[in-house]
Amino acid sequence: MIQQNGLNLSRRIRRTPYTSNVENHGVTGFSVVNHTLLPKSFQNTVEEDYLHLQENVQIWDVGCQRQVEIKGKDATKLIELITPRSVENMNIGKCLYVPLTDTNGGIINDPILTKIAEEHYYLSVADSDVLLWARGLSIGYKLNVRIREPDVWPLAVQGPKANLVLSKIFGDKINSLKKFNFDWFPIEGTKQIIARTGYSRNGGFEIYLSRPELGDSLWKKIWKAGESHNIRPGCPNIIDRVEAGLLSYGNEMTVENTPLECNMEKFIDIEKEHDYIGKKALLRQKKYGVRRRIKGVIFGGPKIPTITRPLQLFDTGKGKIIGQLTSGAYSPRFKKNIGVGMIDIGYWEEDKEIEVKVDETKVCQGLIKNLPLVG
């Protein structure tokens, strides 16, 4: 049988401790993130998975969210150097979204920073080798840090019933965990980090399993606890993610884009006291303003399939390209197509009419929307 989009496997594209489980559950497609398999579809449609996620609970193999562990006397110094976000007041047990920038202010990655202990952090990274970036900097600056990729494999439990499932296993302490906080929980005689985080707006948890040999039994234990709550295997859902305005590094933004273009004002402290890479560029951009910005779009026409290649946007009736949608799909909530992408200055106004070129022959009418589309 000939399929255009097969994925040819090799050791270079790493399996996770959960890959066998997602295969048993009938995974149909993967993506590759950080040289690691990310399940992207199962037997259901994206729409069915979306509807299920809104009311139930799902288990996601997000082992591809590799960790960059930074430990040592200069760990905080290095973190302050690589992000425009201040970590001065960060407490142990907290998780923080920290865009990393290069000299031009371009985004290198947008990880979740976890503070394990004093001078001990994890960066849970999107799809670029932050390990090499951090190591290169630490060698050049002669910082006293140890940087490595620990054998830690995140497993996400997402959806409004995630706490019901995990509290069966870990007790009521799960319920007291606040958003963007983590704590330590026992798993088969070991202590493991569980954070109240996740790449969905429905709430949930991420288990930072540091013992890959326990991956299979952990998966099965969660599955069993979830059966009465209609648990399903899942993955970051494109409809949910776009509605929530959750960005994907490499899709909505690349190293060519700055945090200001990506609406990350509230996640950065451009003027922070510490010197950081990109400070000069971001101060300048803050002063003069950005020329493009990520916005949402809701548009009509027939249901589109999940966007796999950017859709161009046009000034209505004028044929001028004003941006592109890099992620999107049909939303059952809006009963319209939705998307997110970088839009030129002059077209940011809520409900501004624009056109979306959905394929070679069809253009649909759409409206610019602020993100998130749903709070």
Binding site for its own copies (CB under 8 A): 1-13, 15, 23, 26-32, 35, 40-41, 43, 102-103, 108, 127-130, 132-142, 248-251, 277, 306-310, 326-327
CA distance linking residue 287 with residue 268, whole number of Å? 15
Q: Give whichever of 155 and 307 is closer to its own copies, judged by the CB atom.
A: 307
Q: Give whichever of 28 and 217 is closer to its own copies, judged by the CB atom.
A: 28
State the minimum distance, in angstroms, from the CB of residue 90 to its own copies.
23
Q: Give whichever of 46 and 169 is closer to its own copies, judged by the CB atom.
A: 46
Q: Give whichever of 22 and 231 is closer to its own copies, judged by the CB atom.
A: 22
Containing 222, the helix (H) or strand (E) segment is helix 215-226
Do 108 and 255 contact (CB within 8 A), yes or no? yes
State the minimum distance, in angstroms, from the CB of residue 174 to its own copies.
31
Nearby residues of 160 by Cβ (< 8 Å), 6 or more positions away: 54, 55, 56, 57, 202, 203
Q: Give whichever of 35 and 178 is closer to its own copies, judged by the CB atom.
A: 35
- Mark residue 238 as left, alpha or beta (left: phi above 0; alpha: psi -120 to 50; beta: remaining): alpha
CA distance linking residue 141 with residue 135, whole number of Å? 10
State the minimum distance, in angstroms, from the CB of residue 10 to its own copies.
6
Which among 317, 310, 305, 313 is positioned nearest to 357, based on CA atoms? 313
State the minimum distance, in angstroms, from the CB of residue 294 to its own copies.
13
Residue 68 burial (CB count, 10 A): 23
State the minimum distance, in angstroms, from the CB of residue 68 to its own copies.
11
Q: Give whichever of 92 and 321 is closer to its own copies, judged by the CB atom.
A: 321
- Mark residue 276 as left, alpha or beta (left: phi above 0; alpha: psi -120 to 50; beta: remaining): beta
What number of CA atoms fall less than 13 Å from residue 198's CA on the CB side?
32
State the minimum distance, in angstroms, from the CB of residue 50 to its own copies.
15
Q: Give whichever of 148 and 173 is closer to its own copies, judged by the CB atom.
A: 148
Q: Give whichever of 170 and 276 is closer to its own copies, judged by the CB atom.
A: 276
Exposed/middle/buried for residue 4 (C-beta within 10 Å: 0-12, 13-18, 19+): exposed
Q: Give whichever of 26 and 171 is closer to its own copies, judged by the CB atom.
A: 26
Burial 317-333 (b: 16+ CB within 10 A, else e): eeeeebbbbbbbbbbee
Burial 238-257 (b: 16+ CB within 10 A, else e): bbbbbbbbbbbbebbbebeb
Looking at residue 197, what DSSP letter applies?
-
- What tokens appear for 130 in the block? 């932050």
- What tokens appear for 75 in the block? 């760990």
Q: Give whichever of 250 and 372 is closer to its own copies, judged by the CB atom.
A: 250
Residue with tokens 């139930």: 56
Tell me the residue type at 187: I
State the minimum distance, in angstroms, from the CB of residue 319 to its own copies.
20
State the minimum distance, in angstroms, from the CB of residue 342 to its own copies.
11
- What tokens appear for 199 in the block? 């790449």
State the minimum distance, in angstroms, from the CB of residue 274 to its own copies.
15
State the minimum distance, in angstroms, from the CB of residue 78 to its own copies.
10
